[in-house]
Amino acid sequence: MSLKTTPSRPFAPVSVYSYWHAIGVLGPHPAAARISTMPTPPINQWPRHERPRERILSDGAEGLTDAEILAVLLGCGGPGQSAVDLAHELLARFGGLRGLFSAGTPVLLQLKGVGPGRAALLRAARECAVRYLQERLRPGQTITSPASSREFLLARLRDRPHEVFCALFMDNRHRVLAFDELFRGTIDSTTVYPREVVKQALARNAAAVILAHNHPSGVAEPSEADQIITRRVRDALALVDVRLLDHFVVGDGTCISLAARGVI
């Protein structure tokens, strides 16, 4: 009994060079490198339902990632990259939106793909966010609870590189008269003069005051010095019949009330 065999298909010749690339000895094959560095198509060539701007218009911005929202602001990318690619690079470089929007103009101008126009746009975007929150404390607005001022103070003070001591002046119905920066210090301290706080309160014709200052270290826990100066300012204001309602210490995403701690 004889066995029939089917002739096998000959193997395609494989060069030794390609073999060593395939098993990783020589690293990625040049062809693979060319594929991985192929330019990303611009967003206007994407399917419409995947484009960030169209998704905002149809579904709202809530479902977009930080990179996609930033891409809408940037408008376009650069050579070989989409606006989303550029947004991802910027967010990775600064660790997120907060770091990017807090970056100084000289730093932004050194980045590839940014330039003066986009640097100005990024600074303007941050200022719009701050002013949006500030509208809640515009003159004539009534402060009804600590939460009414907490978000504004966080946005205004959390990223300042040095200590800043501020005061929110109100009338006897707790309507906002003004928000003033009174003292500016170093990275870890500032000198506060109670008499200057009293002087500004009288100039604003205020009946009540909320104090606020930041800790650039990011730790919002009030120090012993914070508690001492709070009591001194409280007592000085009381001499002219002005009430100190609270003193907020602003850290990295945290805002601590000294009134809630029983200091006032």
Q: Where are the domains of the chain?
A: 43-133, 140-257
Q: Does domain 140-257 have CATH number 3.40.140.10?
A: yes
Pinpoint the alpha helices (H) of 135-212: 146-157, 194-203
What is the Cα–Cα distance from 254 to 251, expressed in whole angstroms?
5
Q: Note the pLDDT of residue 14.
A: 41
Q: Note the pLDDT of residue 48.
A: 80
Q: Note the pLDDT of residue 143.
A: 76
Contact, 222 vs 249, CB < 8 A? Answer: yes
Q: Note the pLDDT of residue 157.
A: 86
DSSP 233: H
Give the neighbor-by-neighbor strand order of the sheet with 208-214: 176-184, 164-170, 208-214, 243-250, 255-257
Q: Note the pLDDT of residue 5.
A: 41
Q: Note the pLDDT of residue 7.
A: 45
Q: Note the pLDDT of residue 185.
A: 82
**Per-residue pLDDT of the chain in tens (264 residues, 90 and over written 9):** 444 444 444 444 444 434 333 444 444 444 444 434 556 677 777 888 888 889 989 888 888 999 999 999 998 887 778 889 999 999 999 999 888 988 888 999 988 889 899 999 999 988 888 788 777 667 777 777 777 788 788 878 887 888 999 999 999 999 999 999 999 887 667 889 999 999 999 999 999 999 999 999 888 999 999 999 999 999 999 999 999 999 999 998 789 999 999 998
Contact, 38 vs 81, CB < 8 A? Answer: no
Residue among 118, 178, 109 nearest 143 (CA): 178
Q: Note the pLDDT of residue 137.
A: 67
Residue 262: what are its φ and ψ, rounded to 5°?
A: 85, 10
pTM of the complete model beyond 0.75: no
Q: Note the pLDDT of residue 133.
A: 73
